[in-house]
Chain A
Amino acid sequence: MKIGFYPGCSLTGSSREYNESLLAISKVAGIELVEINDWNCCGATAAHNLNQELSVSLPARNLALAELEEMEELVVPCAACYNRLVMTQHELNENADLKALISEKLQMPLRNNIKILNVLQFLDKYIVPRLDELIKAPLTYDVACYYGCLLVRPKKVMQAERFEDPMTMDVIMQKLGANALDWPFKTECCGAGFSVSKTEIVGELSGKIVRNAVGRGAKAIVVACPMCHSNLDMRRPAIESYLHRKEDIPVIYITQAIALAMGLSPQQAGIQRHFVPVNLTVNR
């Protein structure tokens, strides 16, 4: 089975383990993710902060290219890219003049009706129904599933059923054998794009998330967003500086958790690329 795929820039660089683990589990499930030919950056926070037109035209080019390749569904694992692509689709469908203007700039037609799936929707639809047969090494940890902002907000556009207490990732982790803890920081902000420009804000916001997860006994924080991962993992020194103590709780992508439960090696899941060492051999 072939499905359209928009990796986004992070997955080719600072979050390549997310890409590696997603492709690895898809392969095990017999799914081929086909990259949009010549895709471009979605513009991320920078475009929608600085230039309204670019914040729409950059994602729209990817949607138009996917349509040219007759993709019906598009998997977008980066939560930030997913948010920008869905928001663009929504804005263009609400504003016919803008859609015509962008289509003219792109010099490409734009039906704007492709089904965009975030990683949790993709997993839920294509991987979860087959997990029973695919799990070879069930996980045995208490975990805190952290969703962040962009998968669930704005609720009107994202249509998340439980935008303050989402459960999709929790249900998947339970199916993998882990114990998904009930905790109140699932959709708190990690500091997002302030990683470089305001690192101390990331230290504080992500520090509160880490402190709560650790306090509830989680052995790992599970995420589905490159920015959340980088803030909780790579920015651990800023977090520890805010908390005034060392915290060694690892942060793993949901796709890495599935890869490990499928019996793939830590290297195949890209675990060696993390800043905070991942020791997942300790059982509950």
Chain B
Amino acid sequence: MELDIPKVMDYLRQRSLAEGKVHRDARDIVTFHQSFLNSVESNGRLHEMGLILDYKIHSGNLFQDVMLAPEMFSKGKLHILPERIKDRKGLSRLFKGQTKNKKS
């Protein structure tokens, strides 16, 4: 029998989240992923500026990468406004009843 190791890891991660057991060293990782999905739920597409702001607020790492955003912006890599998909109802259906901290 072959063991699907990444699947086992995904399961264990989702199970530990569902039970509220997150190692303190992994809290920022979980916060980042939650901020990522918040952005996708709001817009349908990732808004990188929004992701960074949401992550900073929820992780408390307010001063991390403060010099990076202006440089990304000057290189045309950051958009101030999000790109939103048109089918908001269809998107809402996918997120309805889904949590970002436990296995559905």
Contact A50 B101 (CB under 8 A): yes
Min CB–CB distance B42 → chain A (angstroms)? 11
Residues of B within 8 A of A39 (CB): 45, 85
- Most interface-central of A12, A196, A198 (chain B CB within 10 A): A196
Min CB–CB distance A135 → chain B (angstroms)? 28
Residues facing A in B30-53 (CB within 8 A) are: 30-34, 36-37, 40, 44-46, 48, 52
Contact A52 B14 (CB under 8 A): yes
Kindly state whether residue A34 has any CB partner on chain B within 8 Å.
no
Residues facing B in A225-247 (CB within 8 A) are: 234
The total of chain B residues at the interface (CB under 8 A) is 48
Closest to A14 in B: B77
Given A61-B90, A198-B29: A40 in contact with B45 (beta carbons within 8 A): yes
Closest to B44 in A: A40
Contact B37 A50 (CB under 8 A): yes
Residues of B within 8 A of A106 (CB): 90, 93-94
Which bracket fits the contact residues of A?
A: 35 or more
Please, what's the 1-or-0 string for B76-104, where 1 marks a CB less than 8 Å from any CB in chain A? 11110001011100110111001111111
Q: How far is the CA of A275 from the CA of B74 in the complex (A)?
A: 11
Contact B14 A273 (CB under 8 A): no
Kindly state whether residue A30 has any CB partner on chain B within 8 Å.
no
Min CB–CB distance B47 → chain A (angstroms)? 8
Kindly state whether residue B65 has any CB partner on chain A within 8 Å.
yes
Q: How far is the CA of A234 from the CA of B77 in the complex (A)?
A: 11
Residues of A within 8 A of B48 (CB): 9, 13-14
Q: Which of A21-29, A41-49, A173-181, A258-266 forms contacts with chain B?
A: A41-49
- Most interface-central of B30, B71, B104 (chain A CB within 10 A): B104
Kindly state whether residue B75 has any CB partner on chain A within 8 Å.
yes
Contact B98 A53 (CB under 8 A): yes
Residues of B within 8 A of A43 (CB): 37, 40
Min CB–CB distance B18 → chain A (angstroms)? 10
Please, what's the 1-or-0 string for A173-201, where 1 marks a CB less than 8 Å from any CB in chain B? 00000000000000000000110111100
Q: How far is the CA of A275 from the CA of B95 in the complex (A)?
A: 36
Q: How far is the CA of A61 from the CA of B44 in the complex (A)?
A: 11
Contact A107 B94 (CB under 8 A): no
Please, what's the 1-or-0 string for B46-69, where 1 marks a CB less than 8 Å from any CB in chain A? 101000100100010000110010
Contact A54 B76 (CB under 8 A): no
Contact B55 A40 (CB under 8 A): no
Residues facing B in A35-85 (CB within 8 A) are: 38-41, 43-54, 57-58, 61
Question: What are 30 of the A-B contact pairs (CB < 8 Å)?
Answer: A13-B77, A13-B78, A40-B85, A41-B45, A43-B37, A45-B36, A46-B36, A47-B37, A49-B30, A49-B33, A50-B13, A50-B17, A50-B33, A51-B98, A52-B103, A53-B104, A54-B37, A54-B94, A54-B104, A61-B90, A107-B93, A194-B29, A196-B52, A196-B55, A197-B59, A198-B29, A199-B64, A273-B76, A274-B75, A275-B75
B residues bordering A, Cβ < 8 Å? Answer: 6, 10, 13-14, 17, 28-34, 36-37, 40, 44-46, 48, 52, 55, 59, 64-65, 68, 71-72, 75-79, 83, 85-87, 90-91, 93-95, 98-104
